[in-house]
Amino acid sequence: MRLNYLVAIILSIFYGTSENAAGQSGSAKPKPLIKDMYTADPSAHVFNGKIYIYPSHDVESNVPQDDEGGHFNMRDYHIFSMDNINGPAKDNGVALDVKDIPWAARQLWAPDAAFKNGTYYLYFPVKDKKDVFRIGVATSKSPTGPFKPEANPIPGSYSIDPAVFTDKDGKAYMYFGGIWGGQLQRWHTGKYNASLKTDLGKGHENQPALTAKVARMKDNMLVFDESPKNVVILDEKGKPLLSKDADRRFFEGAWMHRFGDKYYFSYSTGDTHLLAYAVSSSPYGPFTYKGVIMKPVSGWTTHHSIIEFKGKWYIFYHDVELSGKTHLRNIKVRELAREKDGSIKTITP
Ligand code: FUB
């Protein structure tokens, strides 16, 4: 028996069918990328030919589960790097701690990152001292930090889940927002209303759904260059999705990628647990709903990012394989497949 064949058999006894570190090849199921801590909401980027993952760092803090997500009580970020999609994912230590953000109080939720003019930017949602989610920014000369936060949140920012997309012309846009615990509904009239706990409530089911927001960033990447605008998603008849359309309307976890000359806005439908997408010829939309990227994973939340790496497309996401608990998640990656027309094939995790 040849030696490499023998090695393959031994490996398959330990690891199942032949697969890489991320568990992607053949019929193998993707495996958690990180096993020694809980990680979620992975925003992946390719910087200098390497993959960097900016996830939430889930911890057990014994806060009971509620509709506002109090049980997601995260305190710091670790950034992971991978030389290739097969891993391993290297932990680069604490990149930012809530205690070092002067205006922040609690709950460091899903972050994202960007690079411009020799500086890396880490964008993060966190509740301020009045328990209102704002979006902050921190800078570093290294993609893995440590990051130094600005003294105040981004002026005019609110809600959660920033995703910063830089277009081919160098213009960068922040997509953000999340309903329920993400507080987007509280800003519905432009003024904060703490009594709106989840969606807009009864009577709004037949109204256009709340939308994510988008704002172009100034060249310094620290502030918005315009007032945030609505990311409108239309149905097949050209009508905005309605609040009651829970299988298709935006909930949280925005992501933007460009494929050819089209802009793909993808997001979580929250309480219906789908990752869905909509397409436009402008980064501002309006977007037309196209379908489901991923069916529900184990755990309540579903949150993703999409990158191109060495000519292939990948989706980073999370589930709760390691813990079985909604607030203690683990990130994974798998390849994203498309039809010839660019539409995304639905993944059943
Ligand atoms: O991780 C906390 C929150 O859960 C995120 O901000 C949401 O997108 C959801 O994944």
Radius of gyration for the alpha carbons in the chain, expressed in angstroms and rounded? 20
Question: Is there a catalytic annotation at residue 41?
Answer: yes
Which tokens sit at 335? Answer: 């390849």
Q: Is 287 in the pocket of ligand 1 (CB under 6 A)?
A: no
Domains in the chain, ordered, with CATH?
A: 1-28 (no CATH), 31-335 (2.115.10.20)
Distance separating alpha carbons of residues 302 and 318, to the nearest angstrom: 7
Distance separating alpha carbons of residues 120 and 39, to the nearest angstrom: 21
In angstroms, what is the span from residue 253 Cα to ligand 1's centroid? 7
Which among 72, 267, 298, 331 is the best mutation to test ligand 1's pocket, defined by most ligand atoms within 8 Å of the CB?
Answer: 72
Strand, helix or coil for residue 6 = helix
Nearest ligand 1 atom to the CA of 40 is 1
In angstroms, what is the span from residue 17 Cα to ligand 1's centroid? 32
Q: Is 19 in the pocket of ligand 1 (CB under 6 A)?
A: no
pLDDT at 203: 82
Which tokens sit at 76? Answer: 């710091």
Letter for the amino acid at 290?
Answer: K
- Whether residue 212 contacts residue 175, with contact meaning beta carbons closer than 8 Å, is answered with yes
Letter for the amino acid at 2?
Answer: R
- Among candidate residues 58, 245, 252, 319, the one labeled active-site is 252
Nearest ligand 1 atom to the CA of 125 is 6
pLDDT at 151: 98
In angstroms, what is the span from residue 121 Cα to ligand 1's centroid? 20
Walking along the chain (349 residues) 10 residues at a time, the average pLDDT comes out as 38 36 57 97 98 98 92 98 94 98 98 98 98 98 98 98 98 98 96 90 90 98 98 98 97 98 98 98 98 98 98 98 98 98 97
The C-alpha angle 84, 86, 91, rounded to 5 degrees, equals 75
pLDDT at 22: 54
- Whether residue 264 contacts residue 282, with contact meaning beta carbons closer than 8 Å, is answered with no
- Whether residue 96 contacts residue 145, with contact meaning beta carbons closer than 8 Å, is answered with yes
The rounded Cα 89 to chain-centroid distance in angstroms is 18
Query: Which helix (H) or strand (E) segment is 254 a member of?
Result: strand 252-259
Distance separating alpha carbons of residues 118 and 165, to the nearest angstrom: 17
Centre a 10 Å sphere on the Cβ of residue 15 and count the other Cβ atoms it contains.
Answer: 14
pLDDT at 14: 36
pLDDT at 264: 99
| pTM reported for the whole predicted model | 0.93
- Among candidate residues 41, 112, 161, 321, the one labeled active-site is 41
Nearest ligand 1 atom to the CA of 58 is 1
Centre a 10 Å sphere on the Cβ of residue 83 and count the other Cβ atoms it contains.
Answer: 11
Distance separating alpha carbons of residues 87 and 281, to the nearest angstrom: 34
Nearest ligand 1 atom to the CA of 318 is 10
Question: Is there a catalytic annotation at residue 252?
Answer: yes
Query: 24: closest CA among 291, 299, 313, 346?
Result: 313
Letter for the amino acid at 93?
Answer: G
Q: Is 162 in the pocket of ligand 1 (CB under 6 A)?
A: no
Query: What are the phi and psi torsion angles at 330 (to 5°)?
Result: -140, 140
Question: What does 278-308 look like in DSSP terms, one character per residue?
Answer: EEESSTT--EEEEEEEEPPPSSS---EEEEE
In angstroms, what is the span from residue 153 Cα to ligand 1's centroid? 19
